[in-house]
Structure 1
């Protein structure tokens, strides 16, 4: 075993995380689910989502057969909802083509929707003990610092170099532990800011530590200004306390989730209201504005609450529009900021 892996495993045996819920049992389904949830999300955030998800959908077959709304509701709050849709599509393909199981080879795994090279490697390494290198965000940071690799890690040439380094360090024994160890080192010690170099088992040969480059490496993504979009959301509530929701289009942000009627202004957001005479000032109230950041822009939302009496005559009905009672919201796939907004509403009707 190479010194890098040996030192890392010795550290892991004392300091590593060995009681994460997806490790017991460490099945391909549970490893796969955790890997997708952990993309750009911290472990402590993922744990309750993972536990709730596997309680509701304990097997790949359960996930494949579940209504999409159920899957999106279980995912709601984790963001990046295309991952949830890819999870279910992947499960359905496994039922159709792979006897209801995740494939146990790299080529077939990596060909499934939402499973790239690193996720496929993590499944094979942790669930099957096969010596495949991974390269998630934590691993990239560890390797870039340890080897002094300059450049943004999303650059194809830099990624190619990091993959070679990752493969060179991956041992043939204790692969599952090694995979967890290098992820843990990045998450717990070799952190993005204020890394705890004094606690690192790789410190002695780390180029970034030697050359005082831990604040520089890895290089950040080349910056660009994030645009801002303004949006008005209309909360239409009837006398029973039900909320009018619309299912979003199949593409774009929050695709196929239920959300509120929206537009660039109140007039555009009120497209669902057939009888605009109901929109009088005494029934319409302005709620506190809020912002929500996406990876590529920031959304500034102005919410408006409209109280109406008879929804049957004042709302244009479509298959993707409906009234939902408060207790039904938990079973719907709602964007996290919309769910939070609805939870904050005053209860007096």
Structure 2
């Protein structure tokens, strides 16, 4: 199959079956496509949609985003994960103001210099918003190429990535680049899926090596099963009515710049900290423990709860320590495990979830 017919089949399929009503596809601008592409890094379209809508509602343009605080951005990002993406957006908007007069750049070499943007993301932003001729190579596109050309490789293989870039550069059409790129992403997301692809509906199935061999499960090769390290955190949930004590995490590890419950490596350290704060540890109770998976580790969380009789028992409130009000929440970034605990209290069912000592 010539490169022309490959690209034409994708474009024809896109016009008939592709996604055209996603929030960032309506009234497209460089800004909105940029935000969507950053959000979509390592996150599914379905999960991103409500976050994108809320983000654009609060920050409809670069100027409004530039006037915001990092806490405001992290607040809207809370629960989406991979918070460095939000920080990169915040850093980028300052660069855009200083270097590009507050307008998102439309030159590839300028776009790729912005924090958190690589070759594929830069190409996606410029092709999808302006129809510029730039190929993309995200996970979906890699999977299609590996199966179609019968390349025995994993998706993450850096050596093969150079080969895949050469292939996608040769088959991406000069005209209708946006439709082709979107079609490739949509095909990978809906037809050429990682598990149980719908090969019978694929426009490329007649020449696809994986389909001809009836061996889609061999392409791409599976990565070696990753062994995740395990870590234990004790969360100290200090509560006064609808107020909860949170600390801003300033350590450059997980949840940097997000507000969390005080966290410790073991129970003894947690109780010692409470004693230092002159809080009666005889009143604490354990909540049900749970796990939270990161891309690099599994975190096991054991929350303990203490309810204060007077808010003045803990009064070191400042920019790094706050009483978070569940009825009238402050605009701050909160990681998903903290949100998960808050949901228990919001439903007012926490008494049934606590295990008495």
TM range (shorter): over 0.9
Q: Which region of structure 1 is more displaced relative to structure 2, 220-229 or 332-341?
A: 220-229
Secondary structure of 1:327's partner? Answer: coil
Matches within 5 A, 1:268-283: 268-270=269-271, 271=273, 274-280=276-282, 283=283
From 14, 26, 29, give the equivalent of 1:27: 29
Q: Which region of structure 1 is more displaced relative to structure 2, 14-23 or 1-10?
A: 1-10
- Deviations 1:6-45 (Å, cap 9, x if unpaired)? 0011111111101111011111111111111111211111
From 161, 164, 185, give the equivalent of 1:159: 161
Confirm or deny: 8 A CA contact 2:242 2:327 kept in the other structure: no
Instruction: Give 1:193's aligned residue.
Output: 195
CA displacement at 1:212 relative to structure 2: 2.4
Secondary structure of 2:6's partner? Answer: helix
Distance 1:269 1:194 in 2: 47
Distance 1:189 1:304 in 2: 46
Secondary structure of 2:295's partner? Answer: coil
Instruction: Give 1:297's aligned residue.
Output: 297
CA displacement at 1:209 relative to structure 2: 1.0
Confirm or deny: 8 A CA contact 2:317 2:323 kept in the other structure: no
Q: Report the aligned-residue RMSD.
A: 1.8
Secondary structure of 1:8's partner? Answer: helix
Confirm or deny: 8 A CA contact 1:272 1:316 kept in the other structure: no
Instruction: Give 2:20's aligned residue.
Output: 18
CA displacement at 1:315 relative to structure 2: 5.4
Instruction: Give 1:249's aligned residue.
Output: 250
Confirm or deny: 8 A CA contact 1:231 1:302 kept in the other structure: yes
Confirm or deny: 8 A CA contact 2:31 2:61 kept in the other structure: yes
Distance 1:315 1:150 in 2: 61
- With over 3 angstroms needed to count, the CA separation of the structure-2 counterparts of 1:140 and 1:242, relative to structure 1, is same
- With over 3 angstroms needed to count, the CA separation of the structure-2 counterparts of 1:151 and 1:330, relative to structure 1, is farther
Distance 2:149 2:260 in 1: 47
CA displacement at 1:325 relative to structure 2: 1.1
Tell me whether 1:101 sits opposite 2:121 in the alignment.
Answer: no
- Deviations 1:52-110 (Å, cap 9, x if unpaired)? 11000001121222111110111111100000000111111101111111211111111
Confirm or deny: 8 A CA contact 1:234 1:266 kept in the other structure: no
Confirm or deny: 8 A CA contact 2:279 2:313 kept in the other structure: no
Secondary structure of 2:302's partner? Answer: strand
Distance 2:314 2:130 in 1: 58
Instruction: Give 2:139's aligned residue.
Output: 137
Distance 2:40 2:279 in 1: 48
Matches within 5 A, 1:1-349: 2-238=4-240, 240-270=241-271, 271=273, 274-280=276-282, 283-314=283-314, 316=316, 319-329=319-329, 331-345=331-345, 346=348
Confirm or deny: 8 A CA contact 1:274 1:316 kept in the other structure: no
Distance 2:141 2:212 in 1: 19
- With over 3 angstroms needed to count, the CA separation of the structure-2 counterparts of 1:111 and 1:272, relative to structure 1, is farther
Confirm or deny: 8 A CA contact 2:274 2:280 kept in the other structure: no
- With over 3 angstroms needed to count, the CA separation of the structure-2 counterparts of 1:99 and 1:112, relative to structure 1, is same
CA displacement at 1:227 relative to structure 2: 1.4
Confirm or deny: 8 A CA contact 1:242 1:323 kept in the other structure: yes
Distance 2:88 2:251 in 1: 13
Distance 2:90 2:18 in 1: 31
- Deviations 1:112-141 (Å, cap 9, x if unpaired)? 101111110001101111110001111111
- With over 3 angstroms needed to count, the CA separation of the structure-2 counterparts of 1:46 and 1:275, relative to structure 1, is closer
- Deviations 1:258-310 (Å, cap 9, x if unpaired)? 01001112332353663445111xx2111111110011111111111101123
Provide structure 2 residue ranges, at least 5 long, that are not aligned to the other structure: 352-357
Secondary structure of 1:344's partner? Answer: helix
Provide structure 1 residue ranges, at least 5 long, that are not aligned to the other structure: none
Distance 2:286 2:36 in 1: 40
Distance 2:177 2:298 in 1: 41
Query: Under a length normalisation based on structure 2, what TM-score does the superposition of the two structures give?
Result: 0.92
Q: Which region of structure 1 is more displaced relative to structure 2, 318-327 or 127-136?
A: 318-327
Confirm or deny: 8 A CA contact 2:10 2:180 kept in the other structure: yes
Query: Under a length normalisation based on structure 1, what TM-score does the superposition of the two structures give?
Result: 0.94
